[in-house]
Amino acid sequence: MAQATELLTVIDPKGKGKAPAGLDTDDFKAMYRAMLFTRLFDQRGMNLQRQGRIGFFVPSTGQEASQIGAAYAMGQEDVLFPSYRTHSIALLKGISLKRMYDQMWGNDGDAVKGRQMPNHFTFKDINWVSISSPIGTQISQAAGAARAAQIKGDKLAVWAWFGDGGTSSNDFHAGLNFAGVWKSPCIFMCENNHWAISVPQEMQTASHSFAAKAVAYGMPGMRVDGNDVFAVYEASRQARERALNGDGPTLIENLTFRMGPHSSSDDPKRYQPPELFESWQKKDPIERFQQWLAAEGIWTEAWEDKLRTEIMGEIAEAVEAAESTPQPEIETIFTDVYAEMPTLLKDQLEGLKEQIRRDGDIEDTGGAFPL
Protein backbone atom coordinates (compact mmCIF):
# COMPACT_ATOMS: atom_id res chain seq x y z
CA MET A 1 0.00 0.00 0.00
CA ALA A 2 1.27 3.51 -0.87
CA GLN A 3 2.78 5.52 1.97
CA ALA A 4 1.40 8.87 3.09
CA THR A 5 4.33 10.73 1.50
CA GLU A 6 3.68 9.31 -1.99
CA LEU A 7 1.05 10.56 -4.42
CA LEU A 8 -0.81 7.71 -6.08
CA THR A 9 -1.51 8.52 -9.75
CA VAL A 10 -2.69 6.22 -12.52
CA ILE A 11 -3.73 8.63 -15.30
CA ASP A 12 -1.36 11.56 -15.72
CA PRO A 13 -2.64 15.11 -16.46
CA LYS A 14 -2.43 14.38 -20.20
CA GLY A 15 -4.74 11.41 -19.86
CA LYS A 16 -2.12 8.68 -20.24
CA GLY A 17 -2.07 5.59 -18.05
CA LYS A 18 -3.30 2.03 -17.63
CA ALA A 19 -6.71 1.23 -16.18
CA PRO A 20 -6.86 -0.78 -12.95
CA ALA A 21 -7.49 -4.52 -13.31
CA GLY A 22 -11.09 -5.68 -13.11
CA LEU A 23 -12.68 -2.73 -14.92
CA ASP A 24 -14.05 -2.92 -18.46
CA THR A 25 -15.51 -0.57 -21.06
CA ASP A 26 -18.96 -0.58 -19.44
CA ASP A 27 -17.36 0.50 -16.16
CA PHE A 28 -15.42 3.29 -17.85
CA LYS A 29 -18.58 4.59 -19.52
CA ALA A 30 -20.56 4.44 -16.26
CA MET A 31 -17.84 6.33 -14.38
CA TYR A 32 -17.64 9.03 -17.02
CA ARG A 33 -21.42 9.38 -17.23
CA ALA A 34 -21.64 9.81 -13.45
CA MET A 35 -18.90 12.46 -13.48
CA LEU A 36 -20.56 14.39 -16.31
CA PHE A 37 -23.98 13.96 -14.65
CA THR A 38 -22.59 15.50 -11.47
CA ARG A 39 -21.12 18.49 -13.32
CA LEU A 40 -24.41 19.22 -15.11
CA PHE A 41 -26.44 18.62 -11.95
CA ASP A 42 -24.25 21.17 -10.13
CA GLN A 43 -24.59 23.75 -12.87
CA ARG A 44 -28.38 23.46 -12.81
CA GLY A 45 -28.42 23.51 -8.99
CA MET A 46 -26.51 26.78 -8.87
CA ASN A 47 -28.78 28.26 -11.54
CA LEU A 48 -31.89 27.24 -9.61
CA GLN A 49 -30.58 28.95 -6.49
CA ARG A 50 -29.63 32.11 -8.38
CA GLN A 51 -33.15 32.19 -9.86
CA GLY A 52 -34.60 32.03 -6.35
CA ARG A 53 -36.30 28.70 -6.96
CA ILE A 54 -34.36 26.85 -4.25
CA GLY A 55 -32.74 28.40 -1.20
CA PHE A 56 -29.29 26.86 -1.11
CA PHE A 57 -26.94 24.64 -3.07
CA VAL A 58 -23.51 23.04 -2.52
CA PRO A 59 -21.66 22.24 -5.77
CA SER A 60 -18.86 19.70 -6.17
CA THR A 61 -17.38 21.01 -9.42
CA GLY A 62 -13.80 19.80 -9.79
CA GLN A 63 -14.20 16.96 -7.31
CA GLU A 64 -16.08 14.48 -9.50
CA ALA A 65 -13.20 12.00 -9.86
CA SER A 66 -12.51 12.07 -6.13
CA GLN A 67 -16.06 10.95 -5.42
CA ILE A 68 -16.96 8.68 -8.33
CA GLY A 69 -13.68 6.76 -8.13
CA ALA A 70 -14.35 5.91 -4.50
CA ALA A 71 -18.05 5.23 -5.02
CA TYR A 72 -17.22 2.72 -7.74
CA ALA A 73 -15.21 0.71 -5.21
CA MET A 74 -18.03 0.60 -2.64
CA GLY A 75 -19.99 -2.54 -1.93
CA GLN A 76 -23.77 -2.76 -2.05
CA GLU A 77 -24.01 -3.33 1.72
CA ASP A 78 -21.49 -0.64 2.67
CA VAL A 79 -22.69 2.24 4.84
CA LEU A 80 -22.00 5.85 3.86
CA PHE A 81 -21.67 8.81 6.20
CA PRO A 82 -21.41 11.60 3.59
CA SER A 83 -20.47 15.24 3.68
CA TYR A 84 -22.64 17.89 2.01
CA ARG A 85 -20.63 17.75 -1.24
CA THR A 86 -20.99 14.08 -2.15
CA HIS A 87 -24.29 13.94 -4.05
CA SER A 88 -22.39 12.46 -7.02
CA ILE A 89 -22.42 9.14 -5.16
CA ALA A 90 -26.22 9.16 -5.00
CA LEU A 91 -26.36 9.87 -8.74
CA LEU A 92 -24.02 6.96 -9.45
CA LYS A 93 -26.04 4.62 -7.25
CA GLY A 94 -29.22 5.41 -9.17
CA ILE A 95 -31.13 7.58 -6.71
CA SER A 96 -33.82 9.33 -8.74
CA LEU A 97 -33.40 12.99 -9.51
CA LYS A 98 -36.97 13.62 -8.37
CA ARG A 99 -36.07 12.47 -4.85
CA MET A 100 -33.01 14.72 -4.81
CA TYR A 101 -34.89 17.77 -6.05
CA ASP A 102 -37.79 17.08 -3.68
CA GLN A 103 -35.28 17.43 -0.83
CA MET A 104 -33.95 20.72 -2.19
CA TRP A 105 -37.47 22.12 -2.42
CA GLY A 106 -38.47 20.59 0.93
CA ASN A 107 -41.79 19.60 -0.62
CA ASP A 108 -44.26 16.84 0.22
CA GLY A 109 -42.14 14.29 -1.64
CA ASP A 110 -39.14 15.03 0.55
CA ALA A 111 -38.34 12.13 2.90
CA VAL A 112 -37.80 14.55 5.80
CA LYS A 113 -40.60 16.97 4.83
CA GLY A 114 -38.39 20.05 4.65
CA ARG A 115 -36.75 19.60 8.04
CA GLN A 116 -33.23 19.46 6.62
CA MET A 117 -31.21 22.12 4.83
CA PRO A 118 -31.29 21.80 1.03
CA ASN A 119 -28.57 19.53 -0.38
CA HIS A 120 -28.48 17.55 2.90
CA PHE A 121 -29.82 14.24 1.62
CA THR A 122 -30.73 10.95 3.30
CA PHE A 123 -31.33 7.70 1.40
CA LYS A 124 -31.97 4.71 3.62
CA ASP A 125 -32.23 2.29 0.69
CA ILE A 126 -28.56 2.79 -0.23
CA ASN A 127 -27.35 3.00 3.41
CA TRP A 128 -26.76 6.74 3.07
CA VAL A 129 -26.98 8.34 6.51
CA SER A 130 -28.45 11.84 6.63
CA ILE A 131 -25.93 14.59 5.89
CA SER A 132 -25.26 16.87 8.84
CA SER A 133 -24.14 20.51 8.69
CA PRO A 134 -21.87 20.57 11.79
CA ILE A 135 -18.35 19.90 10.55
CA GLY A 136 -16.93 16.46 11.31
CA THR A 137 -19.76 14.90 13.30
CA GLN A 138 -20.15 12.14 10.71
CA ILE A 139 -16.56 10.97 11.32
CA SER A 140 -17.10 9.72 14.87
CA GLN A 141 -20.54 8.40 13.92
CA ALA A 142 -18.98 6.34 11.13
CA ALA A 143 -16.35 4.99 13.52
CA GLY A 144 -19.13 3.85 15.85
CA ALA A 145 -21.11 2.26 13.04
CA ALA A 146 -18.01 0.43 11.82
CA ARG A 147 -17.36 -0.94 15.32
CA ALA A 148 -21.00 -2.09 15.53
CA ALA A 149 -20.67 -3.89 12.18
CA GLN A 150 -17.47 -5.50 13.43
CA ILE A 151 -19.17 -6.77 16.59
CA LYS A 152 -22.11 -8.16 14.60
CA GLY A 153 -19.82 -9.80 12.06
CA ASP A 154 -21.30 -7.91 9.10
CA LYS A 155 -19.15 -8.14 5.98
CA LEU A 156 -19.13 -4.48 5.00
CA ALA A 157 -17.14 -1.26 5.14
CA VAL A 158 -18.27 2.07 6.57
CA TRP A 159 -17.19 5.21 4.70
CA ALA A 160 -16.83 8.67 6.27
CA TRP A 161 -16.48 11.68 3.96
CA PHE A 162 -15.10 15.06 5.03
CA GLY A 163 -13.00 17.94 3.76
CA ASP A 164 -9.61 19.26 4.80
CA GLY A 165 -11.35 21.60 7.25
CA GLY A 166 -13.02 18.61 8.90
CA THR A 167 -9.63 17.34 10.08
CA SER A 168 -9.53 20.21 12.58
CA SER A 169 -12.70 19.00 14.29
CA ASN A 170 -12.66 17.05 17.54
CA ASP A 171 -14.62 14.27 15.85
CA PHE A 172 -11.78 13.64 13.39
CA HIS A 173 -9.34 12.81 16.18
CA ALA A 174 -11.86 10.89 18.27
CA GLY A 175 -13.17 8.93 15.29
CA LEU A 176 -9.78 7.91 13.90
CA ASN A 177 -8.47 7.03 17.36
CA PHE A 178 -11.50 4.84 18.10
CA ALA A 179 -11.34 3.08 14.73
CA GLY A 180 -7.59 2.57 15.02
CA VAL A 181 -7.83 1.03 18.48
CA TRP A 182 -10.53 -1.44 17.45
CA LYS A 183 -9.21 -2.00 13.92
CA SER A 184 -12.76 -1.53 12.72
CA PRO A 185 -13.73 -1.59 8.99
CA CYS A 186 -13.87 2.17 8.49
CA ILE A 187 -12.58 4.13 5.50
CA PHE A 188 -11.95 7.81 6.14
CA MET A 189 -12.13 9.82 2.91
CA CYS A 190 -10.58 13.28 3.22
CA GLU A 191 -11.25 15.40 0.15
CA ASN A 192 -8.48 17.96 0.33
CA ASN A 193 -9.90 20.62 -1.99
CA HIS A 194 -7.51 23.20 -0.48
CA TRP A 195 -10.18 25.40 1.06
CA ALA A 196 -12.38 25.15 4.15
CA ILE A 197 -14.69 27.86 2.84
CA SER A 198 -12.13 30.72 2.82
CA VAL A 199 -9.46 29.11 5.03
CA PRO A 200 -6.56 27.75 2.91
CA GLN A 201 -4.91 24.40 3.55
CA GLU A 202 -1.74 25.92 5.00
CA MET A 203 -3.78 27.56 7.77
CA GLN A 204 -5.54 24.29 8.53
CA THR A 205 -2.56 22.11 9.46
CA ALA A 206 1.22 22.16 9.91
CA SER A 207 1.48 18.53 8.71
CA HIS A 208 3.05 18.00 5.29
CA SER A 209 -0.13 16.11 4.32
CA PHE A 210 -3.43 15.09 5.84
CA ALA A 211 -2.71 11.44 5.05
CA ALA A 212 0.32 11.62 7.35
CA LYS A 213 -2.01 12.05 10.32
CA ALA A 214 -2.98 8.37 9.96
CA VAL A 215 0.31 7.31 11.55
CA ALA A 216 -0.75 8.71 14.94
CA TYR A 217 -3.83 6.50 14.95
CA GLY A 218 -2.17 3.25 13.87
CA MET A 219 -3.58 2.98 10.38
CA PRO A 220 -2.26 3.39 6.81
CA GLY A 221 -2.58 6.78 5.17
CA MET A 222 -2.79 7.13 1.40
CA ARG A 223 -2.23 10.34 -0.54
CA VAL A 224 -4.04 10.17 -3.86
CA ASP A 225 -4.35 12.32 -6.98
CA GLY A 226 -8.01 13.18 -6.46
CA ASN A 227 -8.44 14.36 -10.06
CA ASP A 228 -7.52 10.89 -11.32
CA VAL A 229 -10.62 8.69 -11.15
CA PHE A 230 -8.59 5.48 -11.53
CA ALA A 231 -6.16 6.39 -8.74
CA VAL A 232 -9.05 7.12 -6.37
CA TYR A 233 -10.74 3.86 -7.36
CA GLU A 234 -7.56 1.84 -6.76
CA ALA A 235 -6.86 3.42 -3.35
CA SER A 236 -10.47 2.91 -2.31
CA ARG A 237 -10.50 -0.69 -3.52
CA GLN A 238 -7.37 -1.45 -1.49
CA ALA A 239 -8.80 0.24 1.61
CA ARG A 240 -12.07 -1.70 1.33
CA GLU A 241 -10.16 -4.97 0.90
CA ARG A 242 -8.24 -4.22 4.09
CA ALA A 243 -11.47 -3.46 5.92
CA LEU A 244 -13.20 -6.66 4.83
CA ASN A 245 -10.12 -8.73 5.66
CA GLY A 246 -10.15 -7.46 9.23
CA ASP A 247 -6.99 -5.38 8.78
CA GLY A 248 -8.59 -2.21 10.11
CA PRO A 249 -9.26 1.33 8.91
CA THR A 250 -7.55 3.50 6.31
CA LEU A 251 -7.26 7.26 5.88
CA ILE A 252 -7.29 8.40 2.25
CA GLU A 253 -6.45 11.98 1.27
CA ASN A 254 -7.72 12.87 -2.19
CA LEU A 255 -5.77 15.87 -3.43
CA THR A 256 -8.21 17.89 -5.55
CA PHE A 257 -9.59 21.41 -5.93
CA ARG A 258 -12.96 23.06 -5.45
CA MET A 259 -13.48 24.74 -8.84
CA GLY A 260 -16.19 27.07 -7.63
CA PRO A 261 -17.79 28.43 -4.48
CA HIS A 262 -18.05 26.58 -1.19
CA SER A 263 -21.81 26.98 -1.57
CA SER A 264 -24.28 29.26 -3.28
CA SER A 265 -23.69 31.70 -0.39
CA ASP A 266 -19.97 32.04 -1.11
CA ASP A 267 -17.84 34.14 -3.51
CA PRO A 268 -14.38 32.54 -3.92
CA LYS A 269 -13.09 35.53 -5.87
CA ARG A 270 -12.86 37.37 -2.53
CA TYR A 271 -10.12 35.07 -1.22
CA GLN A 272 -8.78 32.91 -4.09
CA PRO A 273 -6.11 34.29 -6.42
CA PRO A 274 -7.32 33.85 -10.04
CA GLU A 275 -4.08 32.18 -11.15
CA LEU A 276 -4.67 29.37 -8.63
CA PHE A 277 -8.08 28.63 -10.10
CA GLU A 278 -6.68 28.77 -13.63
CA SER A 279 -3.88 26.32 -12.81
CA TRP A 280 -6.33 23.78 -11.38
CA GLN A 281 -8.76 24.32 -14.24
CA LYS A 282 -6.09 22.80 -16.49
CA LYS A 283 -6.25 19.66 -14.32
CA ASP A 284 -10.03 19.26 -14.73
CA PRO A 285 -10.81 15.63 -13.76
CA ILE A 286 -13.51 15.22 -16.40
CA GLU A 287 -11.25 16.44 -19.20
CA ARG A 288 -8.43 14.19 -17.99
CA PHE A 289 -10.65 11.11 -18.05
CA GLN A 290 -12.13 12.21 -21.37
CA GLN A 291 -8.64 12.28 -22.91
CA TRP A 292 -7.96 8.75 -21.67
CA LEU A 293 -11.30 7.48 -23.00
CA ALA A 294 -10.69 9.13 -26.38
CA ALA A 295 -7.26 7.49 -26.64
CA GLU A 296 -8.93 4.13 -25.96
CA GLY A 297 -11.50 4.77 -28.69
CA ILE A 298 -14.37 4.97 -26.19
CA TRP A 299 -15.15 8.69 -26.08
CA THR A 300 -16.43 10.51 -29.16
CA GLU A 301 -18.05 13.90 -29.62
CA ALA A 302 -21.24 12.20 -30.78
CA TRP A 303 -21.38 10.12 -27.58
CA GLU A 304 -20.72 13.23 -25.48
CA ASP A 305 -23.52 15.13 -27.20
CA LYS A 306 -25.90 12.20 -26.71
CA LEU A 307 -25.00 11.93 -23.01
CA ARG A 308 -25.45 15.65 -22.40
CA THR A 309 -28.82 15.69 -24.15
CA GLU A 310 -30.03 12.69 -22.13
CA ILE A 311 -28.83 14.07 -18.81
CA MET A 312 -30.17 17.58 -19.35
CA GLY A 313 -33.52 16.08 -20.35
CA GLU A 314 -33.65 14.01 -17.15
CA ILE A 315 -32.74 17.05 -15.06
CA ALA A 316 -35.36 19.28 -16.70
CA GLU A 317 -38.08 16.67 -16.19
CA ALA A 318 -37.17 16.14 -12.52
CA VAL A 319 -37.00 19.88 -11.80
CA GLU A 320 -40.45 20.41 -13.28
CA ALA A 321 -41.88 17.50 -11.27
CA ALA A 322 -40.34 18.63 -7.97
CA GLU A 323 -41.30 22.26 -8.45
CA SER A 324 -44.92 21.30 -9.05
CA THR A 325 -45.10 18.99 -6.01
CA PRO A 326 -47.07 20.68 -3.18
CA GLN A 327 -45.53 21.68 0.11
CA PRO A 328 -45.87 19.35 3.13
CA GLU A 329 -49.10 19.57 5.11
CA ILE A 330 -48.83 21.71 8.23
CA GLU A 331 -49.45 18.61 10.40
CA THR A 332 -46.08 17.20 9.38
CA ILE A 333 -44.46 19.60 11.85
CA PHE A 334 -45.61 17.10 14.49
CA THR A 335 -45.65 13.75 12.67
CA ASP A 336 -42.58 11.64 11.78
CA VAL A 337 -40.85 12.84 14.94
CA TYR A 338 -41.65 9.94 17.28
CA ALA A 339 -42.79 6.40 16.50
CA GLU A 340 -45.78 7.17 18.72
CA MET A 341 -46.69 10.80 19.12
CA PRO A 342 -46.43 11.87 22.80
CA THR A 343 -49.29 13.67 24.52
CA LEU A 344 -47.46 17.00 24.45
CA LEU A 345 -47.24 17.00 20.66
CA LYS A 346 -50.79 15.72 20.28
CA ASP A 347 -52.03 18.67 22.33
CA GLN A 348 -49.96 21.10 20.26
CA LEU A 349 -51.26 19.60 17.00
CA GLU A 350 -54.87 19.90 18.17
CA GLY A 351 -54.19 23.47 19.24
CA LEU A 352 -52.81 24.30 15.78
CA LYS A 353 -55.81 22.71 14.05
CA GLU A 354 -58.15 24.75 16.24
CA GLN A 355 -56.26 27.93 15.38
CA ILE A 356 -56.55 27.16 11.64
CA ARG A 357 -60.30 26.46 12.01
CA ARG A 358 -60.70 29.77 13.81
CA ASP A 359 -58.36 32.05 11.83
CA GLY A 360 -57.83 30.28 8.51
CA ASP A 361 -54.72 28.71 7.05
CA ILE A 362 -51.27 29.69 8.30
CA GLU A 363 -49.94 32.41 6.03
CA ASP A 364 -46.75 31.76 4.09
CA THR A 365 -44.79 34.95 4.66
CA GLY A 366 -42.25 33.97 1.98
CA GLY A 367 -39.25 34.57 4.22
CA ALA A 368 -35.87 34.30 2.47
CA PHE A 369 -33.60 31.35 3.17
CA PRO A 370 -31.22 32.43 5.94
CA LEU A 371 -27.94 31.63 4.13
Q: Annotated catalytic sites, by residue?
A: 258, 262, 271
* CA nearest to 196, candidates 136, 242, 152, 127: 136
Does residue 290 contact residue 15 with C-beta atoms inside 8 Å? Answer: yes
Residue 52 is classified by DSSP as T
- The rounded distance, in Å, linking the Cα atoms of 152 and 166 is 29
Element spanning 280, H or E: helix 274-281
Backbone angles phi, psi at 236, to 5 degrees: -70, -40
- The rounded distance, in Å, linking the Cα atoms of 228 and 285 is 6
Compute the Cα dihedral for 227, 228, 231, 235 and give only its sign. Answer: positive
Instruction: Give Cα separations from 52 to 112, 131, 326 (angstroms).
Output: 22, 23, 17
Element spanning 312, H or E: helix 301-323
Backbone angles phi, psi at 46, to 5 degrees: -65, -40
Angle between helices 137-152 and 170-182 (to 10 degrees): 20
* CA nearest to 57, candidates 253, 319, 296, 244: 319
